[in-house]
Amino acid sequence: MKIHNYIPSTALQPYIDGYRIIECEELIVNRVLPGIAPVLALRLKGNISTQNESLPAYLLSGLRKTPRLIQYHAGTANLLILFKEGTINSFFQPPANAFFNESISLEQFINKDLVNALEDELGEAPHYNACIRIVETFLLAQLKNTTTDPLILTATQAIRHHHGQLSITQLASSLYISQDAFEKRFRKVIGTSPKQFATLVRMQAIVHSPVPKDLTHLALDAGYFDQAHFNKAFKQFTGLTPSGFFKSPPQW
């Protein structure tokens, strides 16, 4: 398996966290954990599937609560466009919460002819750098709304700063907005509730921490005062117990 990471151009850096191309010469099954922003996956070659079905060549994956086992078959290359939180609606019309827990073919969001043209261009690209240039041209053409919701982005920054350990009620109050209005705006822009987003941020901080010597201290540091509650939340996020996860973390 080879992983190639690319930095977005200056024009797209406010919206795109990065590009990642994953190559697999043999069958690999990877446990993909929930992220905090949508991902657009463009299959350059080969076949990618879940345990139950093949996936569309071009698909948009929204936020989700649980992990997935993704099979990269031999001779596969996949290009991932990693969006920043709150920016997906700058490119595609449906609100972010419309594809929560879903992976939907790109054809559901833009004209099929545009998808076919993108596929043809990527198929003829001589190397991966050319693929990135083609994708950036495509994204810039789809960039319709360059404004983002400053209140919601301030909220996500606060949640990330505190590693998900903060009161959503107090956060809404500090932003001078009712909790009901805050939750509705947050879901539309980010793709899930503020509480669920905070949980995702908190769990990501946990799984990306150094391998712990003591799981009890790990739970306490993450703001869980009950080991059983921590174990349940951890297993929902990773599909594994804490001890089992840290023995075999995801490959990417």
- The predicted-structure confidence for 52-66, as pLDDT tens digits, reads as follows 778 889 999 999 999
**Average pLDDT of 127-153?**
94
Domain match, 91 and 209 both = no
Q: Alpha-carbon distance 18 to 135, whole Å?
A: 12
Domain match, 219 and 126 both = no
CB 81 within 8 A of CB 137: no
pLDDT above 80 for 51:
no
Report pLDDT for 243: 85
Domain match, 105 and 155 both = no
252 located within any domain = no
Report pLDDT for 90: 93
DSSP the chain: -EEEEEPPPTTTTTTEEEEEEEEESS-EEEEEPP-SS-EEEEEEES-EE-SS-BPPSEEEE---SS-EEEEE-TTEEEEEEEEPTT-GGGT-SS-GGGGTT-EEEGGGTS-HHHHHHHHHHHHH-SSHHHHHHHHHHHHHHH-------HHHHHHHHHHHHTTT-S-HHHHHHHTTS-HHHHHHHHHHHHSS-HHHHHHHHHHHHHHTSPPPS-HHHHHHHTT-S-HHHHHHHHHHHHSS-HHHHHHS----
Instruction: Provide the number of structural domains found in the chain.
Output: 2
What phi and psi values does residue 97 have, to the nearest 5 degrees? -75, -10
Give per-residue pLDDT as tens, 224-246. 888 889 999 999 999 999 888 88
The CATH number of residue 10's host domain is 2.60.120
Its sign, for the CA torsion 71, 98, 142, 189, is negative
Domain match, 122 and 232 both = no
Of 142, 167, 184, the residue at which a domain comes to its end is 142
Domain match, 91 and 169 both = no
Of 91, 115, 142, the residue at which a domain comes to its end is 142
Domain match, 27 and 102 both = yes
The reported pTM is 0.92
129 located within any domain = yes
56 located within any domain = yes
Domain match, 178 and 91 both = no
Its sign, for the CA torsion 62, 144, 57, 113, is positive
Of 142, 169, 189, the residue at which a domain comes to its end is 142
Domain of 224, in residue numbers: 150-247
Domain match, 74 and 124 both = yes
Domain match, 99 and 202 both = no
Domain match, 28 and 123 both = yes
Domain match, 123 and 79 both = yes
209 located within any domain = yes
The CATH number of residue 217's host domain is 1.10.10.60
Domain match, 138 and 154 both = no
pLDDT above 70 for 249:
no
Among 125, 129, 115, CA closest to 57 = 115
Q: How far separated are the first and last CA of the chain, in Å rounded?
A: 10
Report pLDDT for 251: 63
